[in-house]
Amino acid sequence: MMKHKKSICIIALFLSSCGGGEWDTYLHVQRIPNSNKVIYEYDAWGGRDSHQFGIVIMDSTEDFEVNKVRNLPISYFTEVPNSSQIHAISLQKAGDDSISLNPVANQEVRISDIHLEIDNYKEYSGYSDAGCILNEYRFQTFKETEDSLYLFGLQKIFGVNLEGKENVGFQKGNIKLITDSNGKLMRLEIKELFKGKANKHKYKKSTAEVIERKENSPVVCLRTYYFKPLKTFYSDDFTDYGIFKPIINNTVPNQAHEQSFGYALLTSCTSR
């Protein structure tokens, strides 16, 4: 495993864009145990207001280039990725009436020796008691296990999902570190899947007046948490597995290579 340095590149990677210009790309990497494959999560802004983002899996020896990578249809890892199989879900926005707690479709993808199983769900994007909005907390310290990250000494900033809890644990796979240019942790960004029943609310436009309520109705959505440290931590204090880390300076790719993938291109550059 490559030894990490404290110097982290979180400003931007400049890569070729669709219009012949440059991409400002924020790139995070999650390593897969006992595998030469890595998982990238990226956000890229190019010329003419073009924006691309997504999750890709590729060989750690190959170079990342926005115009070459092909996104996987993944919104959330339901298990910690490993070298033989990856279980994940894909969420698509949907109207209230089409929400189901069962997947509407299934996909299977093969990338070298890794078998991906992806369940497709319709995501509810309205108001509900499921708490699928941003929650923000501070934390004192943390502990990692092979498949989970535990945070201790929680202090609420806003949100109600963790009301009354001093400690909390999250499955790895959907955790991202946001750091400064020296690798100092600014916050953790963690996604948590809600798949169950909750009360839904419809509000009168531009008011707090509830005009329709559905009780005990199916909801599938993602909760987002920001956790800000009360102590000083660095990227290297966390393991490389199950956690997205900002790309390290000496691993930033300088040249692009053609990539060969066994799955469909879901997002592509478009002229505007």
Average pLDDT over residues 226-254: 83
Alpha helices by DSSP H, 186-233: none
pLDDT tens for each residue of 153-198: 999 999 999 999 999 999 999 999 999 999 999 999 999 999 999 9
Number of residues written out for the chain: 272
CB 257 within 8 A of CB 62: yes
The residues, any chain, with a CB within 8 Å of residue 151's CB and separated by 6 or more, are 137, 139, 141, 142, 167, 168, 169, 170, 188, 227
250 has a pLDDT exceeding 50: no
DSSP state of 19: T
Average pLDDT over residues 200-215: 86
Compute the distance between CA of residue 154 and CA of residue 141 in angstroms, rounded to an integer: 9
Compute the distance between CA of residue 272 and CA of residue 270 in angstroms, rounded to an integer: 6
Q: Which amino acid is at 75?
A: S
Q: Choose among 68, 44, 46, 73: nearest CA to 58.
A: 68
Higher pLDDT, 235 or 96: 235
DSSP string, 208-266: S-EEEEEEEEEEEEEEEEEEEESS--BGGGS-SBSEEEEPBGGG---S------SS---
Full-model pTM: 0.81
CB 29 within 8 A of CB 247: yes
CB 69 within 8 A of CB 56: yes
Q: What angle do CA 245, 125, 91 make, to 5 degrees?
A: 55
CB 180 within 8 A of CB 186: yes
Higher pLDDT, 257 or 213: 213
Compute the distance between CA of residue 211 and CA of residue 193 in angstroms, rounded to an integer: 27
CB 27 within 8 A of CB 64: yes
231 has a pLDDT exceeding 70: yes
Average pLDDT over residues 211-215: 88
Tokens of 213: 């309520």
pLDDT of residue 269: 35
